Amino acid sequence: MGGHGSDRGQGEGQLRPDRQAEIEAAARALAAGQLVLLPTETVYGLGADAANPAAVAAIFDAKGRPRFNPLIAHVADLETAARLAVFDDRALALARAFWPGPLTLVAPIRDADAVCDLARAGLDTVAIRVPSHPLSRAVLAAFGGPVVAPSANRSGRPSPTTYADALGETGDRCAVTLDGGPCEVGLESTVVAVLDGPPRLLRPGAVTRVQLEAVVGPLAEAQDDAKRSPGRMALHYAPDAPVRINAVAPEPGEAFLAFGPWPAGEGVFNLSPTGSLSEAAANLFSFLRAADRIRPLGIAVAAIPHEGLGEAINDRLRRAAGFVG
């Protein structure tokens, strides 16, 4: 079942009335243990009932995802999140500052039945967030429980940020597919662990280190707790062509992801001609896909400033190139 147009950029409560039937169909499919293609502001997700181990297993099967990689539970609001996880004052401060939005918090599990063991990769913690896309929030509210929704790509592939790309990756495994327009952020969420000790940045994303530290103070770096976050494998977000980062210029046969002023030409995909990190983040995965579709010998990527959103962009690029970062 496909969507009918886009509600991108519309606020909560502003979804078009003709989408209600789709929302209800998606909620019914989730309750029946089926998969749903779900738009969020970050990337498109492959959604399933977080409490249903068989439904969660179907996500792993559709993605070819390693079983040890935990999934993020998406909920409609902070009140629901607090019933699933133990939030201390720091977690509450972060949630109130950045939810709904592209921040995932890793906290001790409170209700282990609501987010099954398979979804948590056997851990005693849960990764949880409240997305801001109005269509996903409407589905979550209608369903009434947590929905795990990893990016709707096959495992290791670039995350889909358009409905067409998501549909082409895993849409055939879904009972309902919802078109929410192009993803506004275009990078997966920032992941912060709020456990014992100082909060730890497990995965950089659209909510930057500076923004986080303005709320909770200095962040510690991920150590052995990195396994609590999705997206921590070394080779991740990878197209078929090999990726070469921090390139000054493309080599013969390479596609080139430029950043800043660069001449247009065949095989050139400019993440942001003006040098905007926000624009580059929104374009990253779709341009990796577009470059890969021309079957180059490789994909060279220009250097991206390692500040603000650049930290998250470089994290994804290192993983696309096969580097641990």
Question: What's the chain's average pLDDT?
Answer: 89
Average pLDDT over residues 248-275: 97
If one compares 155 and 42, the residue with the highest pLDDT of the two is 42
pLDDT tens per residue across span 103-140:
999 999 999 999 998 888 888 999 999 999 999 999 99
Position 324 pLDDT exceeds 60 = no
Kindly state whether residues 82 and 147 are assigned to the same domain: yes
- 11 domain-assigned: no
285 pLDDT tier (thresholds 50, 70, 90) = confident
Q: Which residue range is the domain that position 89 belongs to?
A: 17-228
Position 9 pLDDT exceeds 60 = no
Average pLDDT over residues 78-84: 96
The C-alpha atoms of residue 97 and residue 100 are separated, in whole angstroms, by 9
10 pLDDT tier (thresholds 50, 70, 90) = very low
Kindly state whether residues 184 and 72 are assigned to the same domain: yes
- 61 domain-assigned: yes
Q: Which of 165, 197, 228 is the last residue of a domain?
A: 228
Position 153 pLDDT exceeds 70 = yes
Kindly state whether residues 41 and 175 are assigned to the same domain: yes
Kindly state whether residues 217 and 247 are assigned to the same domain: no
Kindly state whether residues 68 and 208 are assigned to the same domain: yes
Position 63 pLDDT exceeds 80 = yes
Average pLDDT over residues 247-270: 97
Distances from the Cα of 192 to the Cα of 42, 68, 219, angstroms: 16, 19, 9
Q: Which of 6-10, 68-72, 152-156, 226-230 has the highest mean pLDDT?
A: 152-156
Average pLDDT over residues 227-254: 82
What pLDDT score does 1 carry? 43
238 pLDDT tier (thresholds 50, 70, 90) = confident
What pLDDT score does 6 carry? 44
Kindly state whether residues 26 and 105 are assigned to the same domain: yes
pTM, two decimal places? 0.81
Position 291 pLDDT exceeds 70 = yes
Kindly state whether residues 194 and 294 are assigned to the same domain: no
If one compares 212 and 240, the residue with the highest pLDDT of the two is 212
Lowest-confidence segment of 4-13, 160-169, 195-204 by average pLDDT: 4-13
What pLDDT score does 237 carry? 66
Kindly state whether residues 188 and 138 are assigned to the same domain: yes
- 116 domain-assigned: yes
Lowest-confidence segment of 174-188, 209-223, 227-241, 276-290 by average pLDDT: 227-241
Lowest-confidence segment of 39-53, 145-159, 306-320 by average pLDDT: 306-320
Residues in Cβ contact with 130 at an 8 Å cutoff, skipping those fewer than 6 apart: 74, 75, 76, 77, 78, 81, 95, 99, 100, 101, 137
Q: Are 201 and 190 in contact (CB under 8 A)?
A: yes
- Check which CATH number belongs to the domain holding 119 and give it: 3.90.870.10
- 266 domain-assigned: yes
Lowest-confidence segment of 52-61, 162-171, 202-211, 225-234 by average pLDDT: 225-234
Position 179 pLDDT exceeds 50 = yes
- 1 domain-assigned: no
- 2 domain-assigned: no
Position 152 pLDDT exceeds 90 = yes
Structurally, the chain folds into a number of domains equal to: 2
Position 40 pLDDT exceeds 90 = yes
What pLDDT score does 67 carry? 61
Average pLDDT over residues 21-33: 97
Kindly state whether residues 191 and 128 are assigned to the same domain: yes
